[in-house]
Structure 1
Amino acid sequence: MDTTKKIYFASDQHFGAPTPELSFPREQKFVAWLDQIKHDAGVLFLLGDLFDFWFEYKTVVPKGFVRVLGKLAELRDSGIPIYFFTGNHDLWMHDYFQKELNIPVYHRPQEFTFNNKVFLIGHGDGLGPGDKGYKRMKKVFTNPFSKWLFRWLHPDIGVKLAQYLSVKNKLISGDADVKFLGEDNEWLVLYSKRKLETKHYDYFVFGHRHLPMTINVGNNATYINLGDWIGYFTYGVFDGEKFDLLTYKD
């Protein structure tokens, strides 16, 4: 790893919620952050729920988010690798990012090694014990037949319906209680500890919970939750030696 470069992580921007107009200032803030980090970023990880809803029809994608997509294209074209992990709000993402932006899209956690440190990285929805209602719902929504049925809705109807349910139905959205539940009740902490039983990881990096957290899960391993870009504006950065959870202030 180039010691002059850093690895950045961000999650849960939920652009478009609660309305495009109200989320626009957050979009501007995120673009400003992307512009700031492009000077020393070696890699950028986006850990899901960049949009509050996303669906790719064969010839149509949701309107808006031009500034964010343009800035990501700029970073990628400059040679900065970007990795995207789908969240529960953009789980219907397919290959648009790959084809248009050259950004690979992952639908489950992946391992990466940087400077001899092993990372397990993902969005975090549906992992660990509990949350059985959402896990069942996710199986329905990720079923190819379900996606095929939804594609038959006209985009003006389908997108509007999905945006409404994304905000109103917490079972569908999978959003968890944003209060800290304690280590013994935080599902991603339990998931991380269980993974350590079979393999060592230095860092578990997830989003989804909307709470910035850094928790020692044993055996010199750390669980990090990135928080969000709604109320916290937090992000992670690994400089090759240590991982910091920071707050962006414009």
Structure 2
Amino acid sequence: MQIPKGKKIYFASDNHLGAPTKEQSLPREQKFVAWLDEIKKDAAVIFLLGDLFDMWMEYKTVIPKGFTRTLGKLAEISDSGIPIYYFVGNHDLWMNGYFEEELNIPVYHKPQEYTFNNTTFFIGHGDGLGPGDKGYKRMKKVFTNPISKWLYRWLHPDFGMRIAQYLSVKNKMISGDDDAIFLGEDKEWLVQYCKRKLETKHRDYFVFGHRHLPLDIALNSKSRYINLGDWISYYTYGVFDGETMELKEY
């Protein structure tokens, strides 16, 4: 895809709307909606890299209550013709068609590769990639198993969503609350993952969320790993102007 002159690609991740409560996250939601309203003026594409909500799960006819401002703004932008792509994170594993059907936003469960202006991007949320994190990887297999999802949907939504909300906050393998500390490149699983991917194919930018840390790390002389940070502590996002990619703060 060629990005028209004057247009940009925007990236954001890890808003965790609803945490620790919907009332307390409302100012963050309002700030995010204001950002969306601002970038729609020159956005060619918008990538949302997961965990937009602290807990999102879909029954066949039920979705979590709230977040009307965010969903309405996404619908408005999508309806205007600006493509939005959503990558499932570890807090919204059970997306099941709502974004595609109601917002016309494609949803991806695995990283995807794109080329813009001859610049290659490898994009995803980032959970469960690279070495280590074995406990979460095992848990993710259980959560994404079709039988597990079928059984869980027999719970009444009020009860099922309450359990999911509790686990989202309390279970460290899901929440990652104790993991948002930079301990060096050699201990960053996503950095190791990107370096392994480069052994088989070049990409200019690897863009992920999940870590809640704004990071821009050179993998070699031509490739960079970008972590988008979050909209809880940093309010950071990525922007590609057709030539270069950089992290900015809103």
Q: TM-score, normalised by structure 2?
A: 0.98
Quote the Cα distance in structure 2 between the aligned partners of 1:132 and 1:94. 25
Contact kept? 1:217, 1:223, Cα under 8 Å: yes
- 1:34-79, CA deviations, whole angstroms, 9 ceiling, x for partnerless residues? 0000000000000000011111111110000000000000101111
Say if 1:224 and 1:176 are closer, same or farther in 2 by CA, change over 3 A. Answer: farther
Q: Name the % identity.
A: 75
Tell me the C-alpha RMSD between the 2 structures: 0.9
For residue 187 of structure 2, give the secondary structure of its aligned residue in structure 1: coil
Equivalent residue letter for 2:191: V
**Aligned twin of 1:222:** 224
Quote the Cα distance in structure 2 between the aligned partners of 1:192 and 1:167. 28
Q: Does 1:54 align with 2:56?
A: yes
Q: Does 1:129 align with 2:131?
A: yes
For residue 219 of structure 2, give the secondary structure of its aligned residue in structure 1: strand
Equivalent residue letter for 2:234: Y
CA-CA distance at 1:177 after TM superposition: 1.0
Contact kept? 1:176, 1:209, Cα under 8 Å: no
* Correspondence list, 1:129-208, <5 A: 129-174=131-176, 177-208=179-210
Equivalent residue letter for 2:126: G
**Aligned twin of 1:85:** 87
Quote the Cα distance in structure 1 between the aligned partners of 2:210 and 2:174. 14
Contact kept? 1:134, 1:174, Cα under 8 Å: no
For residue 185 of structure 2, give the secondary structure of its aligned residue in structure 1: coil
Quote the Cα distance in structure 2 between the aligned partners of 1:175 and 1:151. 27
Deviating 4+ runs (over 3 angstroms):
172-176
- 1:86-140, CA deviations, whole angstroms, 9 ceiling, x for partnerless residues? 0000011121100001000000000000000000000000000000000000000
- 1:176-210, CA deviations, whole angstroms, 9 ceiling, x for partnerless residues? 61110100010000000000000000000000000
Quote the Cα distance in structure 1 between the aligned partners of 2:75 and 2:18. 20
Quote the Cα distance in structure 1 between the aligned partners of 2:51 and 2:147. 23
Say if 1:219 and 1:176 are closer, same or farther in 2 by CA, change over 3 A. Answer: farther
Q: Does 1:29 align with 2:31?
A: yes
How many residues in Structure 1 have an aligned counterpart in Structure 2?
Answer: 248
Which deviates more, 173-182 or 202-211? 173-182
For residue 111 of structure 1, give the secondary structure of its aligned residue in structure 2: strand
For residue 54 of structure 1, give the secondary structure of its aligned residue in structure 2: coil
Query: Among residues 111, 114, 135, which one is paired with 2:113 in the alignment?
Result: 111
CA-CA distance at 1:173 after TM superposition: 3.4
Equivalent residue letter for 1:60: V
Quote the Cα distance in structure 1 between the aligned partners of 2:146 and 2:175. 18
CA-CA distance at 1:172 after TM superposition: 3.4
**Aligned twin of 2:215:** 213
Quote the Cα distance in structure 2 between the aligned partners of 1:72 and 1:25. 17
